[in-house]
A and B are shown apart, each in its own frame.
Chain A
Amino acid sequence: MTKREWLEGAYRKSGERPVRFSTVSDMEVEPLYTDEDAPKSGSIGLPGEFPYTRGVYPSMYRGRLWTMRQFAGFGTAEDTNARFRFLLGEGQTGLSTAFDMPTLMGYDADHPRARGEVGREGVAMSTLGDMRALFKDVRLDKVTTSMTVNCTASVALAMYLAVAEEQGIPWTALGGTIQNDMLKEFIAQKEWICPPTPSLRIVVDMIEFCMREAPRWHPVSISGYHIREAGSTAVQELAFTLADGIAYVEAAVARGLSVEAFAPRLSFFFNLHNDFLEEVAKLRAARRLWATIMRERFGAKDPLALRLRMHAQTAGCSLTAQQPLNNVVRVTVQALAGVLGGVQSLHTNSLDETLALPSEQAVMVALRTQQIIAEESGVTNVVDPLGGSYAVEALTDRMERDARDYIERIDGLGGMVRAIEVGYPQREIAEAAYVYQQQLERREKVVVGVNRYAVAEERPPELLRVSLDVEERQVDRVRRWKRERDAAASRAALARVRAAAEGTENLMPPLIAAVKAGCTVGEVSDVYRSVFGVYQDPAWL
């Protein structure tokens, strides 16, 4: 019997519930997938082999578990250092730093625009002294660190390298990632200083510098996470992320760098939303599509340049303030999709994240969720256990095809930088977000505890509060730092950063010298603002 005969006969007779069967991204799915939908033999390949659909390493989690990397940062550097050490003590295997909004936007704590935001949603980081305190008693060659920072990433990396030097650790021994994905900032996360073209120049400076000086470091993490949080569909997340990746590769090639030399240090960062099969398919499609793009478009041959390695984080936007304990279940399902999708590193959200920054207790449950999946569930015993599932393979093909169409449209607009300038991805995402919100309100999409199964609300759990005096203390600290440094030396170092920015010299060496001379995040950002100009939100609607 063919699939069609079965669908029109036995299936139709047995009946369906009166709902639309579609993913959270509104992609309709078929009732059944069979060998008729299966890809032609050979296209899935084997784990660790092109096109890496089944994973980037042959032995995957039998060889090495993913890195458990909880994103953390609040208050002062000392507060966050204590959280880091708590997490490492509880079995976390990598660090991930959240900075506060002033740091992310290039303002020191004592700037008027920082008022009310210092240490609120991340750690305050204005000076080398702050970075030193953040990693006090953490050996930077013993742990890999991720830093979520973008338009001020060059300064943060300069400070991190300077702290490593102080600890006596060679840069060649440093492993980790700095997000530094400016294109997705313009598309989704919206933290910027200067316009796309100079932003891209700074990113390429960092790629070039790390290639030579810190070869184990990932100088950019090409991120779909924020694109999805801003309301995109899974396909848009996949397509815009890879299109951003293409733009970085093109810019680095235009600088004269060899693809084989820098591409192995590119890494990716995806969202894990609620729709289990769609998410697994997305991650598998991402690897296959990227490997194909790198080979066909950029002529890369070295497997290291073809493999898409990824961090993933469960979807913050999927969590609910209502019945917050339900979030533990959501995070578990999402994290499992990540593991079955073959991630290299994972952050699981805490149940209280729609209410405040995570409390210590909530972050422990989130970490334990990963440990239970890793060490109790058994799914890590088999490499790519979902590989060959008719549904998963068919959906993987579909995601790849649909993402390819989007990438072609972006190519047609003249590439991602141009697409951003005309607001294309921004509008696509805003449209998808609005459609989803309307579906929620019509209850076509269900959020348990919100638009179905709502109850009179219990008291919210114990929340983490960042005390208001953090700002005062940090402002004092920055002012003291500025008073106590060698003023002439810091002025001269900042002038060298300006000269590099105005010319074509790589910014990293003068930046490292500048942070060592006491220059702050805000001061370097002021140089960027004055040399490159300030990007204005076009507020695409």
Chain B
Amino acid sequence: MAVSARPLRILVAKPGLDGHDRGAKIIVRALRDAGFEVIYTGLHQTPEMIAEAAIQEDVDAVGLSILSGAHLTLFPAVIEEMQRRGGGDITIFGGGIVPDEDQPTLASAGVAKVFTPGATIQDVVDWVRAHVRPRA
């Protein structure tokens, strides 16, 4: 089957007020080095701004970086805004300081994967390759 292998498009976003962007920037660079098209929102984005950017940029996945402890509020808020804009099929994943016990809650809210401290950039790249598909 002839597949025109367009690179995956991924939005990396920093929701909320926390300014810890070391991880987000490393992920942006690693995903780019791995051959994906990556858009970075910059800091201090609201869920509305992120969903809007995801639709505008026509991305296949959105990676959220949250180190503020507000993950239980912000992940679902982003997902809700995505659905409202017809982007409910866009894969949402993320990373940050998220206790294990919060993982099931996030999974049931529709978060495909949350990377926690100690995950490598290779883990993230491999996961994106294996789980994100171009949107139709």
Contact = CB atoms under 8 A, between A and B. Distances in A.
A460 B20 CA distance: 23
Contact of B118 (A189, A231, A322): A322
Contacts of B116: 321
Interface stretch (A65-73, A113-121, A245-253, A374-382): A113-121
A357 B118 CA distance: 18
Contact of B17 (A104, A438, A441, A450): A104
A539 B97 contact: no
Given A355-B97, A463-B99, A537-B43, A441 B22 contact: no
A119 B25 CA distance: 26
B22 A120 contact: no
Contact of B117 (A321, A433, A537): A321
A441 B44 contact: no
B70 A539 contact: no
A190 B117 CA distance: 21
The bracket for how many chain A residues form the interface is: 35 or more
A434 B29 contact: yes
B72 interface: yes
A354 interface: yes
Contacts of A433: 22, 25-26
* Interface of A, helix, strand, loop or mixed by DSSP: loop
* Interface of B, helix, strand, loop or mixed by DSSP: loop
Contacts of B35: none
A460 B40 contact: no
B11 to A, nearest CB: 12
A222 B46 CA distance: 30
A537 B43 CA distance: 6
B26 A101 contact: no
B118 A191 contact: no
Interface string A438-456: 1011000000001000000
The bracket for how many chain B residues form the interface is: 20 to 34
Interface string A394-437: 00000000000000000000000000000000000010011001
A194 B36 CA distance: 34
B42 A537 contact: yes
A275 B18 CA distance: 28
B68 A121 contact: yes
B28 A541 contact: yes
Nearest to B40: A539
A441 B42 contact: no
A312 B69 CA distance: 25
Contacts of B100: 460
B83 interface: no
Contact of B41 (A117, A450, A460, A539): A539
A536 B21 CA distance: 14
B99 to A, nearest CB: 6
Contact of B69 (A105, A121, A317): A121
A120 B69 contact: yes
B88 to A, nearest CB: 21
A101 B18 contact: yes
Interface of A: 101-102, 104-105, 107, 113-117, 120-121, 185, 189-191, 229-231, 317, 320-322, 354-357, 430, 433-434, 437-438, 440-441, 450, 460, 463, 466, 468, 536-539, 541
The 7 A-B residue pairs with the shortest CB-CB distance in the complex, in nearest-first order: A116-B73, A190-B19, A539-B42, A116-B70, A537-B42, A120-B69, A101-B17
